[in-house]
Amino acid sequence: MPSAYCRPDLHCHSTCSDGTLPPTELAHHAHAAGVDLWALTDHDTLAGQAAARAAACALGLAWVSGVEVSATWAERTIHIVGLGVDVQHAPLQQMLQAHRASRQPRARAMAQQLDALGIPDSYAGALRHVTHPDLLSRTHFARYLVECGRCRSVAEVFRHYLSAGNPGYVPPQWTSLTQVVAHIRAAGGIAVLAHPGRYRLTPQQEAALFDAFGAAGGQALEVATSTHSPSQVQHYAAVAQQRGWAASCGSDFHSPQESRHSLGQVPALPSRLQPVWSLLEQHIAA
C-alpha cells in the first residue's frame, strides 16, 4: 500500500442513497478521474459497499468501506462519515436500518406540507427518483420539484422549501452524535466529522460541536470538500491540528448533472496534517 495517495476521494454517493450513478459506475468514474483511494459513503446505508469493493478491486483502485451517517446534535443534523467500518457489524446495521425506517414517516409529513403549499403528489413523485425505496431523502423530493417545473434546480428547491426554516422542512430525529460516533468506532471504523463548513454555526457553536465530537471519540475532520472555500480549508486544517485529529477529503459527489465538482476534484490537504488514511492501513483493499 502506498503511504501517500495523490488523489483520494473519501466521500461520494450512489443510487443506493441520493446519488444518480450506481456503485459500479462510480468506481469507473473515480478510476477514470485518477482517484487512487476511494470510498463510497452513501447516507445511512451500506447497501452499495459490496459492489463498490468488487468494482474497485477489478480496476486496481484502492478502496475502503464508508458510510455517511445522519446524526442529531443540538437539534441540528450533523453528518458523520464512518471509514473502514466492518460492513457486517450488526449494531451499526441496526442503527442505519432505524434511520431508513424513520425516513418513511418524515417523507409522508414532507409531502403533506408540500401538498398544503399547492404541490400535490410529491411522495409518489419523489419515489420515482429513488432506486432503494427505504432511502427516500430530501434530494429525491428536490429532483421531483425540478422535474415538475416548480423550481429550476435542486439548490433552488432547498433554498425555498426543503432546508431548515422553510415550509416543507420536517425536522428529523436521528441518533445522537455521541451514539453515532460510538457505533462507528464499535464497528472498527474511524469517525470523520463531514463538511464542517456547511452547518452555519457561530464560532462558539462550532467549538461546542467539536468538543462534543472529540468527547464522543471522533478522530478526523473533513478538511477538504467541494463546498469549502480555500480559507475554510485553511481554517479547518488549523482546527484538525489543534485538536489532534486526522484530516479527510472528499468531493461529496452526487450526480454529473447536479454536482459542481466531479469525483476526485478536491483541494489537496495541507501537507502538515495527518491524513486519515494513515489510520486506515488495515482496512484498505487494493
Contacts with Mn ion, residue ranges (CB under 5 A): 18, 68, 79, 252
**Site for ligand AMP (CB under 6 A): which residue of 72, 163, 166, 205?**
163
Q: Rounding to the nearest 10 degrees, give the CA dihedral for residues 174, 248, 252, 189.
A: -40
36: partner contacted, choices ligand AMP, Mn ion, none (Cβ within 5-8 A by kind) = none
| Residue 137 lies near ligand AMP (rule: CB under 6 A) | yes
* Residue ranges in 254-283 that form contacts with ligand AMP under rule CB under 6 A: 254
What residue is closest to ligand AMP based on CB? 137
**Euclidean distance between CA atoms 191 and 193, whole angstroms:** 7
* Residue ranges in 17-46 that form contacts with ligand AMP under rule CB under 6 A: 18, 43
Report the residue number, 89 or 143, with the smaller CB distance to ligand AMP: 143
Classify residue 275 by its DSSP letter.
B
275 Cβ neighbours under 8 A, 6+ residues apart = 4, 5, 8, 246, 247, 248, 269
Report the residue number, 227 or 278, with the smaller CB distance to ligand AMP: 227
Q: What are the backbone dihedrals phi and psi of residue 266, each rounded to the nearest 5 degrees, phi first?
A: -135, 140
**Euclidean distance between CA atoms 75 and 188, whole angstroms:** 27
CB of 99 to ligand AMP, least distance (A): 9
Q: Per-residue DSSP letters for 166-189?
A: STT-----PPBHHHHHHHHHHTT-
Report the residue number, 25 or 156, with the smaller CB distance to ligand AMP: 156
**Euclidean distance between CA atoms 188 and 162, whole angstroms:** 34
**Site for ligand AMP (CB under 6 A): which residue of 122, 139, 219, 232?**
139
CB of 266 to ligand AMP, least distance (A): 16
CB 102 within 8 A of CB 118: no
| Residue 99 lies near ligand AMP (rule: CB under 6 A) | no
CB of 3 to ligand AMP, least distance (A): 32
**Site for ligand AMP (CB under 6 A): which residue of 33, 59, 155, 238?**
155
138: partner contacted, choices ligand AMP, Mn ion, none (Cβ within 5-8 A by kind) = ligand AMP
CB 10 within 8 A of CB 19: no
CB 19 within 8 A of CB 27: no
**Euclidean distance between CA atoms 42 and 40, whole angstroms:** 6
| Residue 70 lies near ligand AMP (rule: CB under 6 A) | yes
**Euclidean distance between CA atoms 150 and 68, whole angstroms:** 29
CB of 117 to ligand AMP, least distance (A): 18
Contacts to ligand AMP by CB under 6 A:
18, 43, 70, 137-139, 154-155, 158, 163, 254
